[in-house]
Amino acid sequence: MAKILLVLYPDPTTGYPPPYARDSLPVVTSYPNGQTLPTPSAIDFAPGELLGCVSGELGLRPWLEAEGHTLVVTSDKDGESSRFEQELSDADVVISQPFWPAYLSPERMAKAPKLKLAITAGIGSDHVDLATAIDRGVTVAEVTYSNSIGVAEHTVMQVLALVRDFIPQHQIVANGGWNIADAVHRSYDLEGMDVGVFAAGRIGRAVIERLSPFGVRLNYTDRHRLPLEVEERYGLTFHDDIRSLVRDVDVLTVHAPLTDETRGLLSDELLGTMRRGSYIVNPARGAIADRDAIVRAVENGQLAGYAGDVWFPQPAPADHPWRTMPHNGMTPHTSGSSLPSQARYAAGTREILESWFAGTPIRPEYLIVEGGRYSGTGAHSYASRPPAPRAAT
């Protein structure tokens, strides 16, 4: 029997369960690329419930305990005295979410000799030191595509909020005001702008598809160039690298994984090559941006605004400058944790666990590391290799 250590964000401050705004979720039967939704043998929750917090437990406890496994759930994850550190020494499986990541550093994995499986309930496994996981033979898996569309929708919302300067306009109303000149002096139309998408995987491509009807000129870069038919359908201009891309756009959206190549990429130097008054929306990973370079660029007007859903570390400290810098539209990593997304990544987490317990293959699209090497999605997204040739269709 296994010990599963599950790290989730704290319950609502008003108590659990919270009042829900709707009684049901829309029915989604497949992902846009035809991939099936998670297919566990059963679920022990009602879709639409808040599953990602401590009391939600991803709906896993009844099943795991019925099978004789031990489930430990905590939100206390940081520091040597944390519950996470105390329980790690004999854990077989660690599960956490990108929104409240339990960082599995080399030092922490050295304290976990029994650890065999690390699961991301969601997408993005950079909170796990993947090189160490490879060395130690730890399997790393995530629920690919479970919240990609939610993140893409959030991205489009933040693009519009920045360009239209929505947040200050709403605040004027909330404060009892009605000064239209104050409300519109930084408000622009998205129509006609050049938009750049950095990394056109599942999320980036969904952003392209959703922004196309706005009458923008779409640009992108990715080490895996999209098929010619897709480029022609959306009028896409391909750039060989991020440096070429940022020079030619008014709005940049960021969807790349955090790797040695992308860490700190949004630097003073790169930002200085962008058009004055550009906007950046980064729902990928906070560490892709140089924290202080972003602040400087917003304060000196090089950037007209910065929004995103990701910080480093997470949760961000109270004095993180992105909380208070001007013209920001930051959110606390909520884009991929909508209630429909939670239902999918909770079901996907159970599917991964069922496969692992049964000794059957985990879906390749869920795999990041397996058998001491990058595998599945990990081989596509994280492993260093030259860009693949573009397919004709």
The DSSP symbol for 38 reads: P
Q: Is 314 a catalytic residue?
A: yes
Angle ∠(170,175,176) on CA atoms, nearest 5: 100
- Residues 207 and 257: their CA atoms lie apart, in Å, by 16
Please check whether residue 368 is in contact with residue 259, taking contact to mean a CB–CB distance below 8 angstroms: no
127, 285, 291, 363: the catalytic one is: 285
Q: Are 196 and 254 in contact (CB under 8 A)?
A: no
What is the DSSP track for 108-128?
HHHT-TT--EEEESSS--TTB
Edge to edge, the sheet with strand 237-238 lists 237-238, 217-221, 194-198, 251-254, 278-282, 303-308
Task: Count other Cβ atoms within 10 Å, centred on residue 228.
Answer: 14
Active site residue: 327, 333, 344, 380, which one?
Answer: 333
Judge whether 333 counts as a catalytic residue.
yes
Residue with tokens 């109303």: 173
Catalytic residue among 97, 147, 169, 342: 147
Q: Is 259 helix (H, G, I), strand (E, B) or coil?
A: coil
Mutual angle of helices 148-163 and 202-211, in 10-degree steps: 50
Tokens representing 300 are: 């000196």
Annotation marks residue 285 as catalytic: yes
Q: What share of the chain is helix, strand, coil (3-state, %, to 5)?
A: 35, 15, 50
Catalytic residue selected from 158, 314, 328, 342: 314
Provide the annotated active-site residues: 147, 285, 314, 333
